[in-house]
Amino acid sequence: MTGATSTGIKAPTVDVVLLPPRGQGDWELLSEDERSRAGTLGNVDVRERYVHARAGLRRVLAAATGRPAENLEFTYGPHGKPALADGGLRFSVAHDGPMAVVVLGDVEVGVDAQRRVTRDVSRIVRRFSPAEQAQIEDSADPAEEFTIRWVCKEAVLKAIGSGLSVPLSNVEVTRQNGRLVVDASAIDDRPWSVVVGRLASGHYVGVAIAADRPVVRWRSRPAA
Amino acid sequence: MDTMQIRKVVIEAIADVAPEADVDGLDSDVDIAEELDLDSMDSLNVFATISEELDVDIPEREYGQLRTLDQLVSYLEQKVA
């Protein structure tokens, strides 16, 4: 997956796919492991969303790889990051309530989705870097700025595979000339880019890509 | 600080992020985030609140092992002892 740039150099391209609402046949696509996992989830809403996201992920990966959705096999990193057992395509999945999104590409990717925060996040902001705290505080809309930084940090941490097992300050997201810039050098030496999209549902979707200036394509359906 | 006091701090921290949930009725051995449908921001807020209330440092690398009430309370008992 690459896109031509004005220089002729192929830039890494990632696809952002919003999953459709839960459909027929979701359960049948899941592996035995996934069905067992669903069975351990006591909260019905959480269980239904898990089934929806896993089936949707399988459909997106099937469309991208040309393989049957139900035959895809996954491995999991130490903090639960899924990968295709035979490598190749990289992906990440996020959901917030009934909304779910998958990002896929040839380089490492991560995604997080969150509505604009209305809860008290003061304790979390204190875990951001001084530069991030200052930029959020000085912005015209601190709640939105916080939400944007959060989905970017989470997306990078999911891409790296650590999740929240490392301090949030290890991934710094600042604005430089209006552009979001990531510094994750404390835990990862790859160049990271982040892109944030705001959906009609009110969700902010943060996408992290292990590449400089990638091409990000927003799609509502699985890429053929 | 005894076990009951620690448990109270934990319950209150969870109730802060899930005000409509029956936190008092939460089983001690269920995954709190999964049971109450907490997202990662809620979970981090719970850890941050407990850290501040009990004045203990909970390293991020420990979060994954602290998913139930029993796990949290017994971990915190060691930390505040």
The pLDDT score that the predictor gives to residue A148 is 98
User: Which chain A residues touch B if contact means CB-CB below 8 Å?
Assistant: 41-43, 45-46, 79, 96, 114, 117, 119-121, 123-124, 126-127, 150, 154, 163-168
Q: Residue A177 corresponds to which tokens in the numbers above?
A: 């000339």
The pLDDT score that the predictor gives to residue A201 is 87
Residues of B with Cβ-Cβ distance to A121 under 8 angstroms: 41, 45
Instruction: Calculate how close chain A gets to B46, using CA atoms only, in Å.
Output: 10
Positions in chain A short of pLDDT 50: 223-224
The pLDDT score that the predictor gives to residue A145 is 97
Of A96, A124, A164, the CB nearest to B60: A164
For A122-174, how does the pLDDT look when each residue is reduced to its tens digit (9 = 90+)? 999 999 999 999 999 999 999 999 999 999 999 999 999 998 899 999 999 99
Q: Where are the alpha helices (DSSP H) in A24-166?
A: 26-29, 32-40, 44-65, 122-125, 130-138, 142-160
Q: Is the pTM of this model over 0.95?
A: no
Instruction: Calculate how close chain B gets to A146, using CA atoms only, in Å.
Output: 12
Can you tell me the ipTM of this complex?
Answer: 0.92
Question: Per the CB < 8 Å rule, is B45 touching A96?
Answer: no
Of A79, A164, A166, the CB nearest to B44: A164
The pLDDT score that the predictor gives to residue A166 is 92
Cα-to-chain-centroid distance, residue A75: 18
The secondary element (H helix, E strand) that includes residue A84 is strand A82-84
Using alpha carbons, select from B21, B13, B73 the residue that is nearest to residue B46. Answer: B13
The pLDDT score that the predictor gives to residue A223 is 44
Are A100 and A93 contacting, i.e. CB atoms less than 8 angstroms apart? yes
The pairing of beta strand A215-219 with beta strand A82-84: unpaired
Instruction: Calculate how close chain A gets to B39, using CA atoms only, in Å.
Output: 8
Helices then strands, counting H and E runs in chain A, come out as 6, 12
The nearest alpha carbon in chain B to A169 belongs to B60
The pLDDT score that the predictor gives to residue A221 is 58
Q: What are phi and psi of A49, to 5 degrees?
A: -70, -35
Positions in chain B short of pLDDT 50: none
